């Protein structure tokens, strides 16, 4: 294939050695972020996307009345409260 092979230069190795702790911290943060994102189940991701889509469609469909805005805000607040109590 067309893949290029790359090697680290002596200067790059020296930089990594001099910055070993920040590099280690960076990789630890990346691993933590990956673990957090893996914690979301497919059901939760699907439901979240469904909510985002429904809200986006409602907000772009036209001008909402004050009552509709209040009802949507209440529904979102209620859902947040339910989730917090689980």
Question: pTM higher than 0.95, yes or no?
Answer: no
Nearest to 50 by CA among 79, 86, 84: 79
11's CB contacts (< 8 A; 6+ apart) are none
The domains of the chain are located at: 10-85
> Three-state secondary structure along 52-82?
HHHHHHHHHCCCCCHHHHHHHHHHHHHHHHH
pLDDT tens-digit series, residues 28-69: 998 888 877 766 778 888 998 999 999 999 988 888 899 999
Residue with tokens 């790359």: 6
């Amino acid at each position: 294939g067309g893949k290029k092979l790359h090697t680290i230069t002596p200067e790059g190795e020296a930089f990594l050695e001099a910055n070993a702790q920040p590099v280690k911290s960076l990789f630890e943060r990346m691993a933590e972020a990956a673990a957090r994102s893996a914690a979301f189940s497919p059901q939760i991701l699907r439901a979240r996307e469904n909510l985002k889509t429904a809200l986006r469609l409602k907000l772009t469909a036209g001008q909402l009345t004050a009552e509709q805005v209040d009802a949507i805000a209440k529904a979102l607040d209620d859902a947040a409260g339910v989730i917090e109590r689980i």
